Amino acid sequence: EDAKAAAPKAKPAPKPAELVTMTPDELKWVANPASADVSMAVVWGDPAKGPHGAFHKFKAGFNAGLHTHSSDMRIAVVSGTMIAASEGGPERKLPAGSYEYQPHGVMHVTKCDAASDCIIFVVSSGKFDLTPAEAPKK
Distance CA 80, CA 118 (A): 4
Determine the pLDDT at residue 3: 53
Q: In the prediction, which pLDDT does 2 show?
A: 55
Predicted confidence at residue 36, as pLDDT, reads: 81
Name the pLDDT band for 9 (thresholds 50, 70, 90).
Answer: confident
Using 50, 70 and 90 to split pLDDT, how confident is the model at 4? low
Percent of the chain with pLDDT over 90: 77
pLDDT tens digits, one per residue of 108-120: 999 999 999 999 9
Q: Is 89 helix (H, G, I), strand (E, B) or coil?
A: coil
Amino acid identity for residue 110 in this structure:
T
Contact at 8 Å (CB) between 77 and 117?
A: no
Residue 5's pLDDT is: 56
The pTM (predicted TM-score) of the whole model is: 0.83
pLDDT band at 16 (very low <50, low <70, confident <90, very high): confident
Query: Taking the CA of residue 136 as centre, how many other CA atoms within 13 Å lie in the half-sphere pointing to its CB?
Result: 6
